Structure 1
Amino acid sequence: MGDVVEKRTSSLKSPVLLLTGHEGEVYCIEFSADGQLLASGSKDKNILLFEVYGDCRNIGVLSGHKNAILELHWNANGDLLYCCSADQTASLWDVEYQKRSHKYVGHTGIVNSCYPGRGVVGGLLVTGADDGTVKLWDHRSKRPIKSIENDFQILSVCCEKSGERIFYGSLDNTIRAYDVRNDKEVFKLEGCTDSVTSVDLNHDGTLLLSNSMDSRLVVWDVQPYCTESSRVKTALFGPTHSVEKNLIRARWGKDSIIASGSADNMVYILDTNDNKVLYQLPGHLGSVNEVVLHPNEPIVASASSDKCIYMGELL
């Protein structure tokens, strides 16, 4: 009998890899668009950059914020990185030179969420904060180009690639859609019974995924012509929240697949077409705050309050 050959599904060095280096809870994580790099942000105020393949070297530390990094996103080319922080600011980083190229100053509360308009020439950033405002930024301008006032803290934001419509979730359990060109709210998504901790658009911008502290993941139809009564496509259960009230995020993968963090220390990967939990992966010793799927291969990465990042292949 020959040796049992381990079936591999990705180009990772090992089926499961542990990435360390953060000295505090890891709140956010994202693969670059080409899948070569992984960025993570932490309570330790730093962003770490890892190579996905080979030895997963830590190739950089982006430091300069005075408080926790709460969310981060790559631009479409993978040469710039946006982030927001509990120090009431957001930043744009040049990844090659590992320098901050722009600092967004204007919020008067913790900036919980940020999201780039990846199709906008010159770059656009949307931020949402505890001061109740959603702000739009062009890094060629010192001040926000638009500020949308709300009565409640903003916990999560995202926008279309064009930057024309913004979606934001708040402490009042709602998600609002805002038309930037016409400067008005176009609809409000209601049905969550607790704070909305993340919102994320799918690749073609037709479906919005939300995570909320009532431990529900909801897929909403956000196409302009959809009637209000038919906007909920599906609601899924599995990932949980806890009294820690971390902003646990859920993200789209390819097609109908989504990934979510959870307060039960598990990584969840679900199929929104048949409402099935495809994977429930253990390993972390603290709340899993964000889970992302690789753009090209069956690889998942997770960020946790245990200060660790796991990266592994899916069978």
Structure 2
Amino acid sequence: MDNKRRAPSPPSTSSAVTKRARQDSSGPPANNQIAISSGADAGKALVRSVKRTSSLDAPIVSLAGAHSAEILSCRFDPTGQNVAACSADRGISLWRTYPPNTNYALLTTIHKAPVLDIQWSLTRPELFSCSADKVVAVTDLTTGTRTRRWRGHTGVVNTIDRAIAGGTELVASGSDDGYVCIWDGDEKDAVIELAVGSPVTAVCWSGDGTQLFVGGLDNVISVFDLRREQIVYSLPGHTDTIASLALSPSHNHLLSTSFDSTVIIHDIRPFSSSPTRVHRTLYGAPAGNENALLRGAWSRTGEGWVGVGGADRTVTIWEVDSGKVVYKLPGHKGTVMAVDFHPKEPIVLTGSKDATMLLGELDNT
């Protein structure tokens, strides 16, 4: 494979901030004693007992060394065993979530320009990606080779999402050309093209795959009914470009981020009691002046928390019901571009303009 970098027995490219003894991941996390301050007399070191809540090797794990430029999107696979990240350096990296956190592949020939977004397939060992080269690609993860290149856009492709609809996995892509294309893995050309009228920066499927939420430079989220191929309603609330969209685990709420530095939780149930459908507006994650597409996420082991990165180099996690900030997580040296939550354990994944990712253990999600 000319586009896949491997080493026979690669050393771990991750660095654990706080090491602990390896334990059986099938058992409950243990309390660990950690020296947080020590002097010349080792017997007088300050020791704390830290309750562990995940199977990570340490409470914070750094994934670094694969990319030379900012990470634009990073996501856990559906099992939580692997992490994929894409970068402005045109590469896509694959990592092990659990020790030894190996960077076991670096794909450098899938795209010819910065890779802006990625999604794991829900049905096959494949990865979907989109790029500034105007292409949506499908990569076979068993071989590391590109198996399909979808050419339908005439502008930069900013965002993708996938869903199962009628037993078929469909991929939606949004572009600066003002169109959303719907792709079927067995077809060469787009099966549906939706004219939005302004550059598209965020797309998100509904739970049943019959509707598509689309955000862009017009500051409004348009909801398309794919059976009729038309807008059925809109979600207002933001005053600047929509940066990302994410569906809640119950499929009842939609998270949106924006250049206006607000995060809005929209009520998308068929019979919402709110005329505007704004369930909650959250503050605390500054978007900055970089016009970056900051990608937010829902905790997937429950619907209580959402997380978004910011230009202040931190990740903000809110409790949705109260609107309170429950975590403000530092650690990166640049704007935090992407956030994702582990599907089974209380672990948050973050990617930054500093070209690194962090895996962080949370108390509860």
Common fold: TM-score over 0.5: yes
- Which residue does 2:223 correspond to in 1? 177
After the TM superposition, which segments of 4 or more aligned residues of structure 1 sit over 6 Å from their partners? none
> Is the contact made by 1:32 and 1:78 (CA closer than 8 Å) also made in structure 2?
no
What letter matches 2:230 in structure 1? Answer: K
Structure 1 position 221 matched with structure 2 position 221: no
Provide the C-alpha distance between the structure 2 equivalents of 1:301 and 1:117, rounded to a whole number of angstroms: 22
2:97 to 30, 44, 52: 52
Match of 1:85 in 2: 131
Instruction: Please tell me whether residue 41 in structure 1 is matched to residue 86 in structure 2.
Output: yes
CA deviation vs aligned residue, 1:221-245 (integer Å, no higher than 9, x gap)? 1122336614110100011112211
Aligned-partner Cα distance in 2 for 1:203–1:92: 25
Q: Which amino acid aligns with 2:54?
A: S
Q: Which residue of 1 aligns with 2:314?
A: 266
Cα 1:87/1:136, change in 2 over 3 Å: same
Q: Tell me the distance in 2 between the aligned counterparts of 1:121 and 1:95.
A: 22
Distance 1:90 1:52 in 2: 26
Give the deviation of 1:4 after TM superposition.
4.6
Moved more, 281-290 or 199-208: 199-208
Report the Cα distance in structure 2 between the residues aligned to 1:275 and 1:228, rounded to whole angstroms.
17
**Is 1:72 aligned to residue 124 of structure 2?**
no
Q: TM-score, normalised by structure 2?
A: 0.83
The aligned residue for residue 10 of structure 1 is 54
1:29 corresponds to: 74
Aligned mate of 1:255, from 293, 303, 315: 303
Match of residue 253, structure 2, among 207, 215, 221: 207
Change (3 A) 1:308 1:129: same
Q: Which residue of 1 aligns with 2:6?
A: none
Contact 2:123 2:169 in 1 (8 A): no
The residue number in structure 2 matching 1:192 is 238
Q: 1:162 to 1:156 in 2, by over 3 A?
A: same
5+ residue gaps, structure 2: 1-42
Distance in 2 between residues matched to 1:97 and 1:299, nearest whole Å: 29
Deviations 1:60-109 (A, max 9, x none): 12232011111111122472211111111111222222222221111011
> SS of the counterpart of 2:51?
coil
Alignment partners' CA distance in 2, 1:14 and 1:146: 46
* Equivalent-residue separation in structure 2 for 1:220 and 1:288 (angstroms): 23
Say whether residues 1:149 and 2:195 are aligned partners.
yes
The answer (yes or no) to whether the contact 2:137–2:146 under 8 Å persists in 1 is yes
CA distance in 2, matches of 1:242, 1:15: 29
The whole-number CA distance in structure 2 between the counterparts of 1:286 and 1:234 is: 28
User: TM-score with structure 1 length normalisation?
Assistant: 0.96
Q: In 2, Cα distance between the equivalents of 1:225 and 1:95?
A: 41
Cα shift readout 1:151-178 (whole Å, capped 9, x = no counterpart): 2110100112432100010101000000
In 2, distance between residues paired with 1:9 and 1:118? 32
1:293-314 per-residue CA deviation (whole Å, 9 max, x = no partner) reads 1111111110000111111211
Q: Report how many aligned residue pairs link the two structures.
A: 315
Q: What percentage of aligned pairs have identical amino acids?
A: 34
Whether the 8 Å CA contact 2:165–2:210 is kept in 1: the answer is no
**Helix, strand or coil for the counterpart of 2:275?**
helix
Which whole-Å CA distance do the structure 2 matches of 1:229 and 1:65 have between them?
43
Contact 1:120/1:161 (8 A) holds in 2 = no
CA contact (8 A) 1:39 1:50 kept: yes
2:37 is matched with: none
Secondary structure of 2:112's aligned partner: coil
Mean CA deviation greater in 69-78 or 153-162: 69-78
Does residue 233 of structure 1 match 2:279?
Answer: yes
Q: Distance in 2 between matches of 1:244 and 1:230?
A: 29
Partner SS, residue 117 of structure 1: strand
Cα pair 1:198 1:250 within 8 Å, conserved: yes
2:145 is equivalent to residue 99 of structure 1: yes
Contact 1:33 1:77 in 2 (8 A): no
CA contact (8 A) 2:315 2:330 kept: yes
Question: 1:120 and 1:48 mapped to 2: Cα distance?
Answer: 31
RMSD value, Cα: 1.7
The residue matched to 2:231 in structure 1 has which SS?
strand
Indicate how the Cα distance of structure 1 residues 102 and 122 shifts in structure 2: closer, same or farther if over 3 A, else same: farther
